[in-house]
């Protein structure tokens, strides 16, 4: 497996895992009325964004070379 493929899988797993954590933490935060748990669910939302940036950055970096970028987009 090349590094773009493994980074893509890491990005996707990060997004899925953090969506799962966001939902669980928000649910438990609201039923238990815990502000700390709700705040931590918002932290998971920002982690989804970070994983999305990993995914998008990897997608851009994996593009092959073109006339502007002869050696690729790494």
Report the residue number, 9 or 74, with the smaller CB distance to Zn ion: 74
Residue nearest to Zn ion (CB): 69
Cβ atoms of 10 and 2 closer than 8 Å: no
What is d(CA 13, CA 2) in angstroms, rounded to the nearest whole number?
17
Residues 30-69 that bind Zn ion (CB under 5 A): 66, 68-69
Task: Work out how close the CB of 74 gets to Zn ion at its nearest, in angstroms, rounded to a whole number.
Answer: 11
According to the binding rule CB under 5 A, does residue 74 interact with Zn ion?
no
SS3 label, residue 19: helix
- For Zn ion, the binding residues (CB under 5 A) are 66, 68-69
């Amino acid at each position: 497996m090349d590094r773009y493929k493994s980074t893509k899988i890491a990005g996707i797993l990060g997004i899925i895992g953090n969506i799962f954590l966001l939902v669980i933490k928000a649910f438990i935060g609201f039923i238990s009325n815990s502000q700390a748990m709700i705040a931590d669910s918002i932290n998971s939302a920002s982690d989804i964004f970070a994983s999305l940036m990993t995914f998008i950055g990897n997608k851009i970096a994996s593009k092959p070379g073109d006339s502007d970028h002869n050696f690729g987009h790494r």
